Amino acid sequence: MTGIRPFRDEDRAGLLDVCVRTADSGKDATGVLGDDELWGLIFAVPYAVRDPRLTWVVEADDGRVIGYVVGTDDTEAFEQWFRDEWWPQFTDRFPRPAEPRTREEKLVEYAYARAPGREPNVGDYPAHLHIDLLPETQGQGVGRMLIETLFAALRGRGVPGLHLGMNPDNVNAARFYERIGMHRLPTADDGMSYGVRFEP
């Protein structure tokens, strides 16, 4: 691989591709939903659009995007922007379900319900991130390099801490976060959260 580099606008398709191919607790979710792009339109691309300076990609020798980290330095501001500016672009494509039952309907409802004030850990951990790596990148220290790159940028902005949420079934991700020094945080649902404080 050629390594890590800052996001470029032409990387959007790569973010969508990596996101769906890692969306099922780290496994390929292609075809699980009716529209494969839904994953990335919620969990990857909006971060790169709102603040590309907090997005980095892993580029393979052949130019493919094979991993990324995206983040925001202010979760509350991001969630308001997502609700008011980002998601309204997709309401015709993804109508709000009356009674979400399927996995896709629940994911669409999650997008509609995003708003400030829903994350309990933003006081001490205002930033958050999403990181995804294709299997060909794993075990090479790339994830740690991506995380450290983002952490350095957040420290440079004076951000005091970061949290992330994850599916508890993704045990490999949980082990990774613990190895890099993150600790468990309380959650309001059946998910799992980790956090890290940045020294001033």
Whole-angstrom distance, CA of residue 161 vs CA of residue 23: 25
Strands 183-185 and 3-6, bridge-based pairing: unpaired
What string of pLDDT tens digits covers the 200 residues of the chain? 569 999 999 999 999 999 999 999 889 999 999 999 999 999 999 999 999 999 999 999 999 999 999 999 999 999 999 999 999 999 999 999 999 999 999 999 999 999 999 999 999 999 999 999 999 887 889 999 999 999 999 999 999 999 998 888 888 888 889 999 999 998 877 788 999 999 76
pTM value? Answer: 0.93
Q: Does residue 200 belong to any structural domain of this protein? A: no
pLDDT for position 133 = 94
pLDDT for position 200 = 67
pLDDT for position 171 = 83
pLDDT for position 105 = 97
Q: Does residue 40 belong to any structural domain of this protein? A: yes
Q: Does residue 173 belong to any structural domain of this protein? A: no
Number of folded domains that form the chain: 1
Q: State the DSSP code for 62.
A: T
Residue type, 194: Y
The range of the structural domain enclosing residue 136 comes to: 3-154
* CATH code where residue 85 lies: 3.40.630.30
pLDDT for position 42 = 98
List all residues 6 or more positions away from 183 whose beta carbon is below 8 Å from its beta carbon: 194, 195, 196
CA distances (Å), origin 2, targets 30, 62, 149: 26, 9, 16
pLDDT for position 26 = 85
pLDDT for position 138 = 78
Question: Are the beta carbons of 125 and 197 closer than 8 angstroms?
Answer: yes
Q: Does residue 61 belong to any structural domain of this protein? A: yes
Question: Are the beta carbons of 146 and 68 closer than 8 angstroms?
Answer: yes
Q: Does residue 86 belong to any structural domain of this protein? A: yes
